[in-house]
Amino acid sequence: MENHDKQSSLQAETTVSPWMTFFTPTYNRCHTLHRVYDSLVNMIKPIDDGKTIDFEWVIVDDGSCDDTYTLVKKWCDEDKIPIRYYFQRNQGKHVATNFATNIAHGKMMTIIDSDDSMFDNTLCIFWKEWNKIPDGIRHKFKGVTARCIDPDSGKIVGSKLPMQPYYTHPQDMRFRDHITGEMHGFNRVDVMKEFPFPVFEEKTHFCPEAIVWFEMGKKYLESIVDSPVRTYFRDTGNAITRGNTSNRSRANYHLW
């Protein structure tokens, strides 16, 4: 932790070998972070061959000056789910993501923003869809991507998928098949370690995520499914993901 400027850390119960690491980068979001916590407390764990498929929650606090630490400490004391909290001076989501990738205990990792919530069956959907990919080709995939729900309309955000199963590269999904809309998925941790976010000069606190996702997608496929797994809120002024997601994806692609 010393070489990552950690000032404090917290930990609730640990799980020996979780399949999934839910990772939340956060900055001054103690007023919305409960959405993620409540989601994970209520998360249904899949059972496969009598074995429970477990998860952990890693929080990297990117220099918050609100009551985030106090809030997370209360949750750690409740000890309802495995939580690991780390504090870093403000450096940006991309730096926090690299750190979380390197310390993740899970084989898979999904980034859930600090103002959104997951459905109770999200982990079950991810587990089921990952294992639907045939064994012989699963090594060619980086993960599974699913859909998001608009909390106002209750409908899936974006256009319909052309087929199921839909195995594709993210560039092809957006620019060949013209699939629009915010999505949410997970990636293999080993693949994320293979493609870390570039860290620029210290004052640059933003890195377009597409720089990594599209580069990763040149090598690996993903399975896109129509099942909704996340509620995509847009009610916070400094939301990490907001605005026209289709335009943002295109802008990020050209930056990449």
Q: What is the pLDDT of residues 16-67, one digit of tens each?
A: 689 999 999 999 999 999 999 999 999 999 999 999 999 999 999 999 999 9
Angle at 187 between CA 184 and CA 188, to 5 degrees: 160
Q: pLDDT at residue 207 above 90?
A: no
| Mean pLDDT in residue range 213-226 | 94
Share of the chain above pLDDT 90, in %: 67
Tokens of residue 118, six digits: 């997951």
Q: What confidence category does residue 15 fall into, taking pLDDT thresholds of 50, 70 and 90?
A: low
The span from the CA of 183 to the CA of 204, in Å, is: 26
Residue 256 reports pLDDT greater than 50? no
Q: Using the predicted structure, report yes or no on whether residue 238 has a pLDDT greater than 50.
A: no
Q: Which residue has the higher pLDDT, 253 or 181?
A: 181
Structural domains of the chain sorted by starting position, each given as residue range(s) with its CATH number in brackets: 2-255 (3.90.550.10)
pLDDT on residue 12: 63
Residue 216, pLDDT > 70, answer yes
The share of the chain scoring above pLDDT 70, in percent, equals 82
Mean pLDDT rounded to a whole number for the chain = 86
Q: Are 76 and 10 in contact (CB under 8 A)?
A: yes
pLDDT of 57 reads: 97
Q: Which of 18-27, 193-202, 228-237 has the highest mean pLDDT?
A: 18-27
Strand partners, 186: 144
Q: Are 89 and 7 in contact (CB under 8 A)?
A: yes
Residue with the larger pLDDT of the pair 98 and 89: 98
User: Quick one: pLDDT at residue 94?
Assistant: 86
DSSP 8-state assignment for residue 13: -
pLDDT at position 107: 97
Residue 208 pLDDT more than 50?
yes
Indicate if the pLDDT at residue 205 is higher than 70: no
Residue 228 pLDDT > 90: yes
Long-range contacts of 68-74 (CB under 8 A, 24+ apart): 68/26, 68/28, 68/29, 68/30, 68/33, 69/8, 69/10, 70/30, 71/30, 71/33, 71/34, 72/10, 72/33, 73/10
- The 10s digit of each residue's pLDDT in 120-175 is 999 999 999 999 999 999 999 999 999 999 888 889 999 999 999 999 998 899 99
Which of the pair, 247 or 62, is modelled with greater confidence?
62
